[in-house]
């Protein structure tokens, strides 16, 4: 672990509708939502946005729902994060990094974000929008190169229990998947029922997927640890869009 970042984060996640299969099949509605998020990201990356403290704005497109959902407490996970029966998932995400958490809060109140939220809602998208800060960090998540990105949406009765479970199991991912980066975000307010969101990156699907599917200790140790800490995990894998 290294010291958490002092940056702020603005998260905007949108769902294009039920997603019954593990693989995200192409759909026009998702492309429409991604286009709206790209337009919002362009505004945030403008000179005015940079001057206001926006450091980067990246858009992600969901590609796969991997194994790892915490079934014992699945009902506590926000419906918008999806379930095995085909609930709505956040399959289009805009992650904004700002100078500090107060800057992220100011961007959330801006006209540009208000307009983006209205456009997403007019398109019929279920959305989750929040600001947050980094509370645990293995290393910075690189967004300047393509790869496979994880957003793991946690729902827990106690955030400290959630943090303990994440940190206790982080070494498994470092050992089994070669993970060398991770940024854990804690929402500053209501966030669709999420207690924490873990964000990290691998070069390829083959770096992470075999361990989740074939390694028995994933269920025996990782998922068991989250269950013992009354935490539900709901992972979704993404790629940078565009």
Strand, helix or coil at 44?
helix
The answer to whether 80 and 128 are in contact (CB under 8 A) is yes
Asked if 37 and 193 count as a contact pair (C-beta separation under 8 A), the reply is no
Cα 17 to its chain centre, rounded Å, is 17
Q: What pTM does this model have?
A: 0.92
Query: What is the span of the domain harbouring residue 40?
Result: 8-240
CATH code of the domain in which 206 resides: 3.30.70.100
Looking at the domain assignment, is residue 227 inside a domain?
yes
Residue 3 included in any domain: no
So what's the pLDDT on residue 74? 47
Does the residue 2 lie in any domain? no
Contact 141, 200 (CB under 8 A): yes
Distance CA 34, CA 109 (A): 21
pLDDT digits (tens, 9 = 90+) for 103-156: 999 999 999 999 999 999 999 999 999 999 999 999 999 999 999 999 999 999
Q: Report whether 57 contacts 45 (CB < 8 A).
A: yes
Query: With a cut of 70, which residues of the chain have pLDDT below it?
Result: 70-88
């Amino acid at each position: 672990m290294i010291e958490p970042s002092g940056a702020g984060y603005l998260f905007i996640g949108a769902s294009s509708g039920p997603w019954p299969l593990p693989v995200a099949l192409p759909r026009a509605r998702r492309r429409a939502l991604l286009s709206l998020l790209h337009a919002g990201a362009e505004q945030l990356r403008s000179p005015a946005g940079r001057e206001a403290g926006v450091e980067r704005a990246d858009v992600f497109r969901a590609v796969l729902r991997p194994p790892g959902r915490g079934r014992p407490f699945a009902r506590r996970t926000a419906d918008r994060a999806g379930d095995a029966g085909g609930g709505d998932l956040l399959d289009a995400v805009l992650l904004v990094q700002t100078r500090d958490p107060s800057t992220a809060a100011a961007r959330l109140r801006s006209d540009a974000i208000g307009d983006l939220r209205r456009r997403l809602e007019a398109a019929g998208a279920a959305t989750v929008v929040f600001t947050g800060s980094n509370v645990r960090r293995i290393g910075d998540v690189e967004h300047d190169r393509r790869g496979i990105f994880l957003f793991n949406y946690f729902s827990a009765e106690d955030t400290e229990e959630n943090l303990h479970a994440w940190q206790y199991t982080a070494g498994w991912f470092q050992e089994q998947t070669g993970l060398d980066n991770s940024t854990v975000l804690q929402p500053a307010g209501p966030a669709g029922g999420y207690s924490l969101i873990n964000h990290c990156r691998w070069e390829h699907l083959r770096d992470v997927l075999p361990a989740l599917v074939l390694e028995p200790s994933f269920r025996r140790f990782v998922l068991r640890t989250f269950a013992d800490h009354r935490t539900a995990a709901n992972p979704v894998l993404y790629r940078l869009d565009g």
